[in-house]
Homo-oligomer: A and B are copies of this chain.
Amino acid sequence: MKILITNDDGVTADGILCLARFLSKEHEVTVVAPETEQSAVGHAITIRFPLWLRKVDIKEPFEIYSVSGTPADCVKIGIDVVLNEKPDLVISGINRGNNLGTDVIYSGTVSGALEGAIAGIPSIAISSYDFKNPMYETAARFILKFLKEFDVNSIPRFSALNINVPSIPYEKLRGWKLTKQSKRMYEDYFEKRVDPSGSDYYWMKGNIVENDPDPKADYKVLKENFVSVTPISLFMTNEKYLSKLEEMYSENKIVW
């Protein structure tokens, strides 16, 4: 397959290079990634400024380009300018740290995959669970095997797979499970400090809350040494609540 790879940790991050090296053993790989780290940028795009695109002179069995923008920018310019055609697959990652529960909406890694989905290309986001101790080779070996057994062309337009891989040696992986984006979230608070000029500033801190009753919650299978595979769609309409509202507010009431 022709695979376009991006990430949010930046073009020189260990995760993306490990992914590209493994995938290039069996696929035709091109890396187009942000020149600087873009973690937690969400689905940002660069609309007020232009983008600079640069071929990176690194000796690898694939081409690497850096972009002065976000993961979503990289996928857009990667398709239109670098490849000048649609690849067979977009993979975003391997992210340093997991993207589970509410992380999904903050994640630059996931946004790279969703941008591929908008362009009509099967797309996957992949993350290694532990920020402090990521194990990229486990995730890279997993995805190479996964691509042999999973039909990526079954992924619908405007949808993508969000994959999280435990930070354990590859041999200890028990397989993969289909999961849902969970209610895993952070309870945030701020720690106040004073800068050398006397102004207050604040560090965000957060406690992880994992209490989703759903047995298919994404974070649960990781604790059992399975890879979580969650199909996500960029359409966020709350259909159930919409139906309830349609009962509450009749057509007559809302037309003035």
Which residues of A does B touch, CB under 8 Å? 37, 39-48, 50-53, 72-73, 76-77, 80-81, 102, 104-106, 111, 114, 118, 149-151, 154-156, 158-159, 173-178, 180-181, 183, 185, 188-190, 192-193, 199-204, 226, 230-239, 241-242, 244-246, 248-249, 253-256
* B81–A236 touching, CB < 8 Å: no
Contact (Cβ within 8 A) B255 A175? yes
Q: Is the CB of A41 within 8 A of B44?
A: yes
For A67, the closest partner residue in chain B by CB is B202
Q: Which of B51, B104, B189, B226 contacts A201 (CB 8 A)?
A: B51
Residue of B nearest to A256 (CB): B175
**Which of A45, A151, A203, A255 lies at the interface centre, i.e. has the most chain B CB atoms within 10 A of its CB?**
A45
Residues on B with C-beta less than 8 A from A158 are 183
A221 CA / B200 CA spacing, docked (Å): 46
* B102 lies within 8 A of A234 (CB): yes
- Closest chain-B Cβ to A155's Cβ sits at a distance in Å of 7
Please give the distance in Å from A99's CB to the nearest CB on chain B: 11
Number of identical monomers bound together in the oligomeric complex: 2
A201 and B50 contact, CB distance less than 8 A: yes
Q: Return chain B residues, CB-CB under 8 Å to A149.
A: 253
How distant is A168 from chain B, measured CB to nearest CB, in Å?
A: 13
Residue of B nearest to A159 (CB): B238
CA–CA, A239 and B51, complex, Å = 36
**Once the chains are docked, how many angstroms separate the CA of A28 from the CA of B155?**
47
Chain B residue contacts of A51, Cβ below 8 A: 190, 201-204
Measured in the bound complex, the distance between the Cα atoms of B237 and A156 in whole Å is 12
Cβ B43 vs Cβ A106 within 8 A: yes
Complex: A200 Cα to B43 Cα, angstroms: 25
A174–B251 Cα gap in the complex (Å)? 12
- Considering the chains assembled together, what is the distance between the CA atoms of A43 and B50 in angstroms? 21
Judging by beta carbons under 8 Å apart, are A241 and B40 in contact? no
Residue of B nearest to A48 (CB): B39
Query: Does the CB pair A190–B81 fall under 8 Å?
Result: yes
